[in-house]
Structures are given as C-alpha cells and as structure tokens.
Amino acid sequence: MTDPDTPWPSSEEYMLAHRCSRCGADIGQRCNAPNKPDHPWHAPRQDAGIRHYRRDVGRAPWREDRVPGKRYDTLPKADSPR
C-alpha cells in the first residue's frame, strides 16, 4: 500500500506512459481493444505500467522520509515533451 500523503499517479497514467506492444497504441492513447469495453488495456501494457509503478515506489524514500505532497514518480509531466 502506498502512502496517502504522496500523490502517486493512477494506474491508467502509468499504462498511458507506455506504447502498447500488442496493438501499437502510442503513448497517451488508449489501446485498440474492441473486445474489452470495461477493461480497455492489453496485458503487455498493463505489465509495463505495473513494472514502472513498482520501480518508482521502490526508488522513493522510505515512507517516514517522504515529504507530504511531493511526487516521487518518473512519469513525464504534462507540460514536458515526451
């Protein structure tokens, strides 16, 4: 479980930060998964997002050393080029 005081991006943001190797969806675009209306992500992209999230959490300072409100993720910021 993550620290509620640390604003981690959503799992969707982590998945959107990667290209989909299955359908070719580009960064920032949803997967082309017409058979998955309630779960529009392909497994390879989900796996990449999960690995990225776990890597970020693993590299963040210990919970007691974190600064409340500070982000420790490595996702590109909305205003930065990819």
In order, the DSSP letters of 21-81 are: TTT-PPTTS----TT-TT----HHHHHHHHHHHHHHHHHSPPGGGSPTT-----SPPTTS-
CA distance 69 to 71: 6
For the stretch 54-74, pLDDT in tens is 999 999 999 889 998 899 999
Mean pLDDT of all residues belonging to the chain: 85
Per-residue pLDDT for 82 more than 50?
no
Confidence of residue 3 (pLDDT cuts 50, 70, 90): low
Range of the domain at 48: 11-65
CA distance 27 to 39: 18
Confidence of residue 76 (pLDDT cuts 50, 70, 90): confident
Q: Is residue 34 part of a domain?
A: yes
Q: Is residue 59 part of a domain?
A: yes
Per the structure, the count of domains in the chain is 1
pTM for the whole thing?
0.79
Candidates 36, 45, 54; CA nearest to 17 is: 45
